[in-house]
Chain A
Amino acid sequence: MASNAAVPFWRAAGMTYISYSNICASLVRNCLKEPHKTQSISREKVHFSISKWADGKAQNPNSCVSLAYLII
């Protein structure tokens, strides 16, 4: 029942289902024991650069480096 109660909260905090599930996944990964922990955390690396366009020109790209910032 706890998950049902939690639904409005994360949605109200401006999160999407994707970011909510990513945070949950990261918490689960942190609960693993050692050899598996580093392995699965290495699958969490996020790196890409995204730039919005307006009137046929690219604005400054801002690169998203790691999800770790999101969680802390």
Chain B
Amino acid sequence: MAMAALRREGRRLTPIIYSSNVAPRSSFIPEEIAPMGARFISTQILRNRMKSVKNIQKITKAMKMVAASKLRAIQVKAENSRGLWQPFTALLGDTPSIDVKKNVIVIISSDKGLCGGINSTSVKIGKAVYKLNAGPDKETKYVVVGEKAKAQLIRDSKKGIEISIAELQKNPLNYTQVSVLADDILKNIEYDALRIVFNKFQSVVSFLPTVATVLSPEIVEREAEAGGKLGSLVAYEIDGDETKGELLQNLAEFQFSCTMFNAVMENACSEQGARMSAMDSSSKNAGEMLDRLTLTYNRTRQASITTELIEIISGASALTG
């Protein structure tokens, strides 16, 4: 709407300025450019525009406040949730470069927009991981969490999408919810390695795109026997009646739900942080725009007053003289 008003304003303003500068001031001015006898530029359009910019600034300021208060609540939770995956990384290590046949890339994004570039970052990283793991005898699929990443992936890689999930943040995020989600993903998809792409929260202005890898129990066993990074796993004794396969399966499932929980929390936290800084800069921009408009408005007003004064004074002096 604002753009339309601006365009209309531009169309109407130019001929008036032109005619008042060049043409003699008389009734020669055509009817459609300005009303009969009008000598000044109407400031009403400018006033309306100032009003709308002011309203937009109010909205962005309010959104910034909301994001700031949500961020504070979720930041603590996100930082605490890091304790869930750290023991797993200590035990199983992190192996992002592992080469397996069935790759599942879980891209985490937000449902709502206006939060800077965090969603496009995770989509970009997800696509890069896809390219790294694609091959003639390999199956690579996407699992998309959040509306925004889905909207971006639909454009060029909708064939690869296997599951999409939305409306995760209707209620406050909790572990039960994310674990049910992780369970649904595990039941519906076959995988050798799950690669979770998300934005890790560092500070309000910096988010680190991160890939967390969860391996299937078979791959963990294969890697442990082959030595390498997971070789130390053989040294552990297993307590109780469980076989190693059962234990590793339980472990892999629990690891996935924990890593998912942390990823979702970190991404939600980054979303609020990004929204906060985006809204901060947009209120600043609205303020600058308002300053410019006010200046133009005042100048125009001053010019018309000056013209009127000159007319009155010269008229008076013509009468006396």
Residues of A within 8 A of B (CB): 4, 7, 11, 16-19, 21-22, 25-26, 43-53, 55-58, 61, 63-64, 67
Contact = CB atoms under 8 A, between A and B. Distances in A.
B282 interface: no
B176 A22 contact: yes
Judged by DSSP, the binding face of B is helix
Given A45-B177, A46-B176, A21 B254 contact: yes
B36 interface: no
B246 interface: yes
B177 A47 contact: yes
Interface residues of B, number: 35
B183 A44 contact: no
B186 interface: yes
Given A18-B257, A53-B164, A48 B183 contact: no
Given A7-B242, A45-B174, A50 B179 contact: no
Q: Which one of B179, B180, B241 has the greatest number of beta carbons of chain A within 10 Å?
A: B180
Given A4-B240, A50-B165, A50-B184, A56 B159 contact: yes
Contacts, number: 89
Contacts of B171: 45, 47
A49 B165 contact: yes
Contacts of A4: 240-242
Contacts of A7: 241-242, 246
A18 B177 CA distance: 11
Given A11-B246, A64-B184, A17 B254 contact: yes
Q: Which one of A43, A48, A49, A51 has the greatest number of beta carbons of chain B within 10 Å?
A: A48
A59 to B, nearest CB: 10
B34 interface: no
B167 interface: yes
7 contacts: A18-B180, A18-B257, A46-B176, A46-B177, A48-B167, A50-B164, A51-B165
Interface of B: 158-159, 161-168, 170-171, 174-177, 179-184, 186-188, 240-242, 246, 249-250, 253-254, 256-257
Contacts of B163: 50-53
A53 B161 CA distance: 6
A46 B188 contact: no
A50 B184 CA distance: 9
A58 B164 contact: yes
Nearest to A26: B176
Given A7-B241, A49-B166, A50-B181, 4 more contacts: A7-B246, A46-B176, A50-B164, A53-B162
Nearest to B185: A50
